A and B are shown apart, each in its own frame.
Chain A
């Protein structure tokens, strides 16, 4: 089967098998795990310590906000199965973040550049190291194998998901905890600049944050859905080509005559014209971004949310980088 991203050169030699999803969770700017709540961009970021106490059962005093969000997001996902579920299984952790620990980097570098010499904090520097969050989550989960921190701007989550799917398929791991976390860091204007946003390149929506996770692996009883395909293309491929691919994926994975909703999840670089295109082609639009705001790994929020809340659906998530590279994720949620 030919997918739309198999343009001239970037076709992988082998495609990955579908990855079953055992659990999914999402946390957005309101810091309410798996719940919808109102939030305002100008009040962000909210204090995360209540969430930490709720999820972790104790404070994380020396950790920065990014690390807390990663830990809370990962553990919220695992609440669906309990930590014991991981025992005896080879588990991989794939943490995706577009911007990482900016919350720690900024105050640290401000101290470095302080006129007359500041006092850069060693704890802040340690927290600012990019894989500190993955270490904390791995320690909580007692995971010692594959623990990777992956960053690919606004396609970070898709890149991590692609890698996790490959590791699962080949039996390198039994379970993959894959998440996307990015946090709101002032100022809003600089935050937009960090995401390379300008009006022509994204839907104008408030900036947000989130920590959203999927647990992938084979468990027929707990399965809430599947990730069929994660793939990438350059800027040449448009919605027409994608539509043919979506049809092919649908026909391959969904039995004929099955009553399923087809849901399009638009990333923040997908413009409103394209939303109309998918509506015209019979897709429902699940615009999840007003719930989580724009952030590099918002795709994780959208995909986790549809997996939890929309049973019996075939879904497609699409987003792109400002440079044109794009990613698409196809999956389905189980009927309940």
Chain B
């Protein structure tokens, strides 16, 4: 991916901070961030779980659809793509839950409408994660390649790196990368069963961190080989790696993270000193932040650039995290500021640094993005500004 790079032509995002990426960026920079709260969506059966929920007045299936179209419309508009341009694009979707929300919504509705009857067993009628791509292709008339990556928390970040690879090889003309994760009972209860939630707050890299909090999100990022007049950002290196040592941890000694980031820099023909800031995965779980923090320190040593996790502000959007956090970050760059990392109060001596605690100017340079997921999956990429 080092041969000139791939241009980021447009993006869009819907998160708990708002229905557009610039709106969310402005709130991040202003520090206007609400903590995760008990969810209100009608399909959620346990209101005790706190999460970062997208505000919406209608029913959850409508909301999921609206989130998807809103993020894509925003990205297409920013990229200035015509219907013909969109049609010849290829589609790369990252999602874990896909449209599973339909099962949950239909079930809870049937129970709600029949209060005097025993609840039926829940049906599983969605068509797998690939259904999302089929929806999008039909909605926008996309006729290029469609690929759905269902790979836990790196789903859309892996999709982005694979799409960039294919663009670089000249196999596709343009890539629309989508991350999509509506809030699901399945994931809320799943992570609760693994005891991975922090009931109080998501505190990335903090000594007091005790787990993650889930966020709801949809986002789209458009990559192109051709530099359009509006393209200011260039994806200049990316790396995907599968760590088989552990299904749930990237290794708390930090070596895996260090190697993945080093490989990304090599791919981009950049050095550690070129990195202006790190958009860390920073989930707030004990192991992830230890692995990542130690890995970053190992690599950058005393020249560690500002490290920011967005999960203290929007939660962990799981498979959508790659697209969501890229879109928010780039909108922050457009606003001229990189926001502080939320949820931090105390340095963890085992990590040895504090994530950035003040907004910093979004200067020209390389921004490093890292993502680490269940199943040993690691993604890292660099986006150049200027």
Q: What residues make up the interface of A, taking CB atoms closer than 8 Å to B?
A: 7-10, 12-14, 16, 93, 97-100, 102, 105-106, 108-110, 112-113, 115, 120-122, 125-126, 128-132, 134-135, 138-139, 142-153, 155-156, 159, 162-163, 166-167, 170, 172, 185, 190, 193-196, 232, 234, 296, 321, 323, 325
CB–CB B137/A131 < 8 A: no
CB–CB B124/A153 < 8 A: no
- The residue on B at minimum CB distance from A321 is B134
Kindly specify which of B188-196, B307-315, B351-359 makes contact with the partner chain: B188-196
**Count of A-B contacts judged by CB separation below 8 Å:** 196
Q: Given contacts A10-B143, A12-B172, A109-B124, are A149 and B119 in contact (CB under 8 A)?
A: no
CB–CB A108/B190 < 8 A: yes
Give the contacting residue for A12; candidates B147, B171, B194; CB below 8 A: B171
Residue among B119, B149, B248 having the largest count of chain A Cβ atoms under 10 Å: B149
CB–CB A325/B377 < 8 A: no
B15 within 8 A of A: no
Q: A residues within 8 A CB of B118?
A: 115
Q: B residues within 8 A CB of A142?
A: 244
Give the contacting residue for B84; candidates A9, A14, A162, A172; CB below 8 A: A9
* B101 shortest CB reach to chain A, Å: 12
CB–CB A112/B124 < 8 A: no
- The residue on B at minimum CB distance from A165 is B171
CB–CB B242/A138 < 8 A: yes
CB–CB B129/A12 < 8 A: no
Q: Given contacts A112-B186, A113-B107, A170-B169, are A153 and B131 in contact (CB under 8 A)?
A: yes
Give the contacting residue for A232; candidates B119, B145, B165; CB below 8 A: B145
B133 within 8 A of A: yes
CB–CB B127/A195 < 8 A: yes
Residue among B129, B130, B373, B374 having the largest count of chain A Cβ atoms under 10 Å: B130
Q: Mark B154-173, 1 if CB is under 8 A from A, else 0.
A: 00001000100110011111
B185 within 8 A of A: yes
Q: Determine the distance from Cα of A105 to Cα of B121 in the docked complex, in whole angstroms.
A: 13
Query: Chain B: interface residue count, which band?
Result: 35 or more
Closest 6 pairs between A and B when the two form their complex, measured CB to CB: A9-B88, A125-B190, A147-B242, A130-B150, A135-B375, A122-B193
CB–CB A130/B96 < 8 A: yes
Q: A residues within 8 A CB of B171?
A: 12-14, 16, 166
CB–CB A10/B375 < 8 A: no
Q: Determine the distance from Cα of A99 to Cα of B125 in the docked complex, in whole angstroms.
A: 10
Residue among A109, A166, A167, A190 having the largest count of chain B Cβ atoms under 10 Å: A109
Q: Determine the distance from Cα of A70 to Cα of B372 in the docked complex, in whole angstroms.
A: 23
B283 within 8 A of A: no
CB–CB B162/A163 < 8 A: yes
Q: Determine the distance from Cα of A105 to Cα of B123 in the docked complex, in whole angstroms.
A: 11
Q: Determine the distance from Cα of A97 to Cα of B128 in the docked complex, in whole angstroms.
A: 8
Q: Determine the distance from Cα of A159 to Cα of B247 in the docked complex, in whole angstroms.
A: 25
Residue among A149, A167, A296 having the largest count of chain B Cβ atoms under 10 Å: A149
> Known contacts A113-B107, A122-B190, A126-B374; can you find 11 more A-B pairs with CB under 8 A?
A8-B143, A100-B128, A122-B193, A131-B373, A142-B244, A148-B162, A151-B150, A159-B145, A159-B147, A194-B124, A325-B137
- The residue on B at minimum CB distance from A125 is B190
B148 within 8 A of A: yes
Q: Given contacts A9-B88, A9-B143, A112-B185, are A129 and B96 in contact (CB under 8 A)?
A: yes
